[in-house]
Amino acid sequence: MKLKCIAIASSLLLLTSCSSSLDDYKDTGPAFNLSQYFDGKVTAWGIVQDYTQKLSRRFCVDIVGKWEGNKGQLHETFYYNDGEQQIRVWELTKGNDGLISGSASDVIGQASGSETGTAFNWKYTLRVPVDGTEYDLAVDDWMYKLDENRVMNRSYMSKFGVTVAEISIFFDKTAPIRGCQTTD
């Protein structure tokens, strides 16, 4: 039993030591600027994978961002493949120190993040309903600017330090904006 605990602790230490830091991206480009990218309409497509890496959901998100000075709002409408729709409205503030804070109705406390080079890292606790029960999950969100119109996002959701889900999202604001409800 003692050997098993040591092996688990060692594995967790190894995983922690390999984690990314915003400093890793300080000399990379194109530069990510949250308030510039999320100003206006953006559409995103994503998947959720459970702790076994099994695809559990797909979704599309229509996003409308509005900024006035250092204050912003992101209105997100999620359309899930099972027919569920969800709305999240972020209220954001970009500080003079470059730190970004935010809140939304299903976010516990304040979200906080910052951007360096091509990356933006955002951390918060999200209340997630699953089968009639709500779970508060820690979210470690990483966005990477690919070009002027596209951003790739990887989110890691954890409970008690254990990753329970991973989310991959591709954002695109190429004109004309396609939108989730567009049919071709």
Q: The whole model's pTM is what? A: 0.85
CATH of 32-167, one of 3.20.20.20, 2.40.128.20, 3.40.630.10, 3.40.50.720: 2.40.128.20
HEC sequence for the chain: CHHHHHHHHHHHHHHHHCCCCHHHHCCCCCCCCHHHHCCEEEEEEEEEEECCCCEEEEEEEEEEEEEECCEEEEEEEEEECCCCEEEEEEEEEECCCCCEEEECCCEEEEEEEEEECCEEEEEEEEEEEECCEEEEEEEEEEEEECCCCEEEEEEEEEECCEEEEEEEEEEECCCCCCCCCCCC
Going residue by residue through the chain (184 aa), what tens digit of pLDDT does each one get?
Answer: 444 443 444 444 444 444 579 999 999 999 999 999 999 999 999 999 999 999 999 999 999 999 999 999 999 999 999 999 999 999 999 998 889 999 999 999 999 999 999 999 999 999 998 889 999 999 999 999 999 999 999 999 999 999 999 999 999 999 999 999 865 4
Parse the chain into domains and list their residue ranges: 32-167
